Every structure is written in C-alpha cells, then in structure tokens.
Chains A and B, each alone.
Chain A
C-alpha cells in the first residue's frame, strides 16, 4: 500500500469524525433516521427495546443548575407536559442522563430530582417520551390480541415512575375500548401512558394467533445512556443498534458485582422468550467475569451478546442504584 493510499484512507476515516466534531458545536447527536422491526411471536414473552427518539424538540446548553429547575439557552420552549417529554444531558459529568420533564417555562424545565453532576454549559436535548400509543398505535395498529380483560388479551408491562405497570388493549365487553390498565379495566383508556425515559417494554403474548411485527421508527441517539433505576426490577432499553457483548459493554463498571448472584445486581437477557440471568463476578473463588445467575461457578459469559432491539430486565439489588450503557465501539 502506497503512502498516498494510506493518506486517502486515513482522510476518509477521519472525515466523519471531523464532520461530527463540527456538528457537535450545535448538537453532539447523530440524527440517523432508522427503523427497527421486532417480531413478537404468540405464546411468548418479549423484552422490547425502544432505542429511537421521535424527534428532537429542542437543544442547547444549560444556563443554570443543578437543581430541579434547569435553565436552558432556549427562550421559546413550548408545552412539554401535556404529552410526556424528557431532557437528556449530552456532555459533562451527567452525560447520558435522561429524565422526565415535570414542568416548564419558556426558558427552563423542571425535573423530579436534581441531576447529579449537571453544570452550567452542559449540552442537552429535549425529546418526546414514548407512550403506549406511540409504540403500539392509539388503537393497537400493531395488532396485539385484545380482549375484555387482561386474562384474554396480550399483556404489556411498562415502567411509570419506576413502577412496572400492566396494560392491555380492551376491544370487547362492557365499557370503553382502548389501552387499559390491567388492574382497572373499567377506568378510562390511557393511550398516552408515559413510558419512563430509556426504558423498554415487557410484552407477554397469549397463545394462538400469528406473530406481529413491531416497527419502531425515529432517530438513533449516540453516546452513553444512563437511565434512572430503582430498587427491584427495571426494564431498560438497549438504545444502540449495534450488538455488543456483556464483556465489551463495560456494564460491569456501572453496576454492582459480587461473589454470587445473591449479592450482585442481575442482568436478564431475553432470547426466544427465555430470560437468562447474569451477574458480574468480581471476587471469590473461581475468578472474575460475567457468570450465569444460576451457575456462579460455571463458564465465563463475557461473550453473551446484548442484542439490538431487546430490552434488558435489570434487577437492582446490591450496592448503589446505577446503570449505564456505553455506545459500542465509540464510548
């Protein structure tokens, strides 16, 4: 290979980085539009990731913080709470954090709790949150099985303010039809039930019927993603469209490991409707590395793949509540 060829190749490889750096002065986000299709087979549970954002409503720099009220450089923010929105931090110590907006003015947003590490000058973007309607259609265009109650219909579990909450599509029987809470099918429909930022969906399909395709469209988001997690179970979205592995994900740096599954945080991955639990073994007999929760002394599981499109069922049960996914190969 000649020196000229190497130079051209180097320039070609360098160009995207240069272009991104230039764009980064405005917004360090690659607005790559895409579509993700996930097949939801009958008689199976599926952990569905919601990796894309519908659009970026606003972006800029933080002008005041870190409190529950965050000043932003934009002075013309519109309504951000009639439909759920979130603010994601794109630089600084709080990089990757995305939290729901609970109130807003023309130049500030309010969040539930102060964002740790947020500082003036940090970049942000504001995006709409996913809802049942935005993912499955206001009237179940995806074609999940409906029914008069959850016992007959496909079940959907989402996180609302950290609590797993079940829904189904009511299409028969007494009362109005629409997206209903499993616990209260007689209550009004909730098509705009807000799915917590950076979380996914747990779908349980009943037997019979055909597989349905769930097509998600939007813009992919770059950089590390840091969802808020609560003690217990969390359905966390894998926001990336490239596969990575447990070992290469560096996830171990952001969760609590231990000598066994009982003293560690647990990561459950779904494949073919089967959930398998893993933990990071960071001490004790048998070396270190990812292990199956049901076989702490077994083989290393570093090569297990985090499949794009699949959410992660994360059980926060040890140490400080935290979770961060780095963007594969770049972060």
Chain B
C-alpha cells in the first residue's frame, strides 16, 4: 500500500509521475505533434540541421560604467571568441534620464553602460564594425531612441541600414508585467514599439526590432508555464498592433524574436522551448493565416537564470549555469548568454565572464550535443511534459484573450498577481526546506570571498562632464527644432522614428528626447499590489 508517498514536482510545481511510457501518450502522432526538425510545427527546432549547420550565437550581455570602459570589454570579448555583442545599459538610461539628472544620483554606470547621447553611442562602438558584428540591445521604454542612436552610428561608419543585423529588446509589455522599467503609459508605449516594427520592416530587413521576453517574467518569480504563456500572449499583442498599423503579417513576423529564461529544472525548460515553437507556429498559421514558414518559426535567445545564482558558495553557480545552458541548447536556442559565477554580487568581472563564455564553448565543441537536432525528442517524459506545458500555456492565453488582451490584463494586474503568488509559493517552499538550494538551505559552508568588479565612482563625474561639454558644443538651435518636430509627430499618428533619428543626429540627449515624449504621452505609475 502506498502511504504518504513523496510528491515529485518540477520547480514550477507541476507533478511528475513515477514513470512515463507509451500509455502517457495515447494517440500521439509524431507527424502532427512534432514534425521533423525544420518542419511545422517546429517542435523539434526551426532548422533541419540545427547546430550542424550553424552553432548558436554566443552572446554575453555586457555593459558597465562608462561607454569607454564597456567598449574595452567588447573588444576583449570578441577577442575571446564571442560571436555577437549584447549591450547592458544603466538604470538612468533604461528610464530615459541623462547621467546628470537628479534621479541618476548613485546609479550612473552601476547596472550597465551609461549612454546619454549619440556621442556616448559612438564611443561604445568605437572600432567595432557594425556591418559585421550583430548587436543586441537590452533597452525597452526608450528603445526607439537608443535604436536611432545605433542607426546614426552605423551611418557614420558608412554601413547601410539594410546590412545591420541585431536585436532591440523593445518589449514594453513585460516591463509592466515584471521588470517595471516603464516610462509612458501602455498605449503610447505600444505606439512607439509599433513605430519601430514598421520602420524596421521598411529599412532594416535583417534587424529584429523586438525581442519578446519571458526572461524577466521568470526572474520575477513566475512558473515556466506563466513565462511561456505571458510571453506568447505579449507576442500576439504586438502582432495585433502591427496589423492595425496596416502592415501585412509577413512583412514583420519573420523579424519577431523571442527571449526565454534557462532555469534550473532541466526537462521542464526543454519542454518549454519546444512548446513555445509549437504554439507560436499554430498561432501564426491559424490566428493570422500566414503560409510563410519564416513567419511561423519562433527564434529565441536564452539566458541562464540570474535568480538561481547564489551568493553563498558562488563557484556552484558555474555548475548551475552549465546545466541551464545545456537545457537551452537541447531546447534549440539560436543564441545564448551564460551568467557569470559572481553575478549574485555584482556585474561580472573579466575572469568570471570568461568562464561563462568557456562554458558555452565546452558545450559547443566537447559535449557532442550539437551532433543531431532535438536529441531528446521521443522521450516519453519530455513529450508528455511538452504537451502539458502547451495545454497549460494555451489555457492562460485563452483567459487573457477573454479579458480583452494583454493591456487590459496588465491594467487589471492579472499577470503581476499570478507571478507574485508563484514567487511567494516558491520562497515558502525554500523556507520549509521542500526545495533544496545547495549552499543556502542545505550543505552550507563558509566560502572564501571572491574578487568582484568595482564600478569606479568617477564614472558619473566623467559622464556629467562629457554631457556639459556636449551641451555647449552642439548646435542648440538645431536641437530645439528637432525636439519640436518630434513632439509634433508624437502628438499625431506619424511614425516617430525619422524624427528620433534627426534628434539624435543633432545630439539631443536621451533625457531631452524622453522629456519631449513625456510631455506628449504622460508617464505611468502602477498600483502597487502585494
């Protein structure tokens, strides 16, 4: 007799049966549920030959202090064999404030590179050929402004916009849901995102104007299913807005990209990536009627879970990250960031980031997992988990449809409340010892301190001086005119991108541009729920 048998669950509290077999997959039709690699519904991956044809891009998210220092780190990473760049901006930049703003006090260069003007962007990419290196930029509320700066730097380098390849994160919905770095209210924010998607469709055919992100939703404490469902529903919202703008689905859908977390529960994560591709392919085909394979294929970047890193025994983080990265690769990621062992403390030091990059190189060149696509496909457990993940995510998507879409759901606090409840449940389980975190609630020991990256307090002063000099040197009349024209465009329905490009060319600062938009759009405050 079975009494009080221990429950096994995934980290997201999904029950796991003692054993899985063919009886768990009644009527399972591999042709319908999986297809081959590179075939609808792309459960097994978007390419027939996957990593045999091309490895994932090893793209370490990086940025700290001044653009000068970050530029040096980029040159170092490229020299170490990294294959793409990913820019981290500091909090004032993310919030649309210049380095000399009162609210930037104590924050300049702390969480990323401080970029207040085109001059800073020029320094950030000095000596980096933008026609050859793909660049991802983690920027959301003011994404259109930073992208305009990027386009202006490319122009200075003599690189045609049509040759630029990279990704703008630009996913404002997950900011309201999870990361909370928003400036404007949802609707004007969505208009700016749609402006970039439209502009990209016309001028930068190789650039992803958006990276629809579950990463931050997961970091905020969601389950794997919530991460998947809210992200895909966000994607649907962006598609609806772009169609409303008058674009046809195949003009922009092939350039929508996604970004997922690579968390610690190995099989749950792989199931999540497989379900993501499968659901998105059906959404694009059935909800939007596309017949273009490029529009149906979900391409994604993955980053290992920052929230899983521990302050205690930090070297264990190398192992956690390695396993998470393996899940992302077995799940068919197109690009990957591996966290550094010191990131529970600070932005990564050079030694730590090198180990993180080497982790990917070991996976790519030593582990053998790149030899064949979706090597775990057909596992009873993984297939069952993929089906369950798909069903649970579709259920959430239907609920949000029923609420009138993601903006209405956000305004009701629905995804926020779901995530907070999941995060609290998890913390309670850790507290009760039901979830083991090695080195934290089990197997504790003292660890010698590790060497950390220090952000020089002089960065803020350096940035402020550069800004003061820029404001004296530039043609302030041209700046004023450009900002007035931008405001006028923002008040109407024109695409704001050309006006943003002109404003940054005139060296209007990020803060000045965002102030102009704040004056037109207003700002957003959420109602805080606990």
- A, B bound: no
| A residues in contact (CB < 8 Å) with B | none
| B residues in contact (CB < 8 Å) with A | none
